[in-house]
Amino acid sequence: MHKNTQYASRTRGFTFLEMLLTMLILVMVFFPLVQVLSRALLVGGETENTNLALGLARDKLETIKNTSFTSIANESKAPIPGSDLFQSEVIVTSPHSKLKDVEIIIYWQSADGSELNISLKSLISSYIRI
């Protein structure tokens, strides 16, 4: 009976080697998972900035459409009022005397410091309303 008591007391806990292997397996599983989650958060932020830039480009295009045809002109790259992150540029070409090709480019810095941009193009014509 004394032997059974000794055997039972030895099998109650885990050995150091078992604990070490368990920790190693947990680290091998969770470390890549944490990296994937942190990358997903970074990509989510970039997607949000892209959506904001597209909205700013649409707003700028609507503003240009609501101005007179003769005042539509190039605008050099400049910060957007009210935004520290974004800059805009407008490039206007005239393939025809009553037609202008307008391109709005919105620039911003990504989390890694590289410059990203999105552009929106539209044709605007001069016509007479009757």
**What's the confidence (pLDDT) of residue 47?**
81
Q: What is the pLDDT of residues 66-124, one digit of tens each?
A: 999 889 999 999 999 888 899 999 999 998 888 999 999 999 998 788 899 999 999 99
CA 125, CA 101: separation in Å to the nearest integer?
9
Would 45 be classed as within a structural domain? yes
**What's the confidence (pLDDT) of residue 48?**
85
**What's the confidence (pLDDT) of residue 101?**
95
Would 63 be classed as within a structural domain? yes
**Residue 65 identity:** K
Q: What is the pLDDT of residues 30-63, one digit of tens each?
A: 888 888 877 777 666 678 888 999 999 999 999 9
Structural domain including 11 reads: 2-125
Would 130 be classed as within a structural domain? no
Would 33 be classed as within a structural domain? yes
**What's the confidence (pLDDT) of residue 11?**
61
**Residue 9 pLDDT more than 60?**
no
Q: How many other C-beta atoms lie within 10 A of the C-beta of residue 88? A: 22
Which backbone phi and psi does 119 adopt, to 5 degrees?
-125, 155
Domain count, the chain: 1
**What's the confidence (pLDDT) of residue 100?**
94
Query: Environment class of residue 75 by beta-carbon count within 10 Å: exposed (0-12), middle (13-18) or buried (19+)?
Result: middle
Beta partners for residue 93, in sequence order: 101
